[in-house]
Amino acid sequence: MTGSFAIEPLRSSHDRQRFRCGVPVLDRYLREQASQDIRRRLSNCFVAIDAAGTVAAYYTLAATGLPMTELPPDQARTLPRYPVLPAALLGRLAVAEDFRGQGLGGALLVDAVTRAVRSESAIFALLVDAKDEAAKCFYLHHGFLPFVSRPQSLFLTIAAAIQALQL
């Protein structure tokens, strides 16, 4: 629970039809694709629900790999030389227009980090692909760092997240 919102796995009982974040592809994903991705075990979707049961925000979380070559040299030099590190992909984070400015984006990040920390699989970092400069600034503000060759793709090590969030 965060403030007056509960964050929980997406279920068929959640009303997704009225969700509008201002980005049609993100609205359409929640309405039409998220349940299929969950069934196919491609990603999990988590929704923030208000007291009335309205879907206020959502994000997806999936397993991925982080190529060692994408890390900045100061990060890479302290790690074993595995070609790929275990990671979680935080995708499609969206807050409905009616719920902006209430800290839901940050709350969803905390929830994703908490789920990654609790995972029985080892996860070195959370990865995101920022859709635009505003999204990139949001992630940078929350401690994410850009990849070496893909500046719109960012990562946050779980160790840094734990330290920042005092989990």
| 8 Å CB contact between 43 and 37 | yes
Q: Which of 29, 58, 59, 139 is catalytic?
A: 139
| 8 Å CB contact between 124 and 157 | yes
Which residue shows structure tokens 């719109």?
152
Residues 6+ apart with CB under 8 A from 116: 61, 88, 123, 126, 158, 161
Q: Is 139 a catalytic residue?
A: yes
Nearest to 37 by CA among 6, 57, 9: 9
Three-point CA angle 102, 7, 146, nearest 5°: 70
The residues that are catalytic are: 139
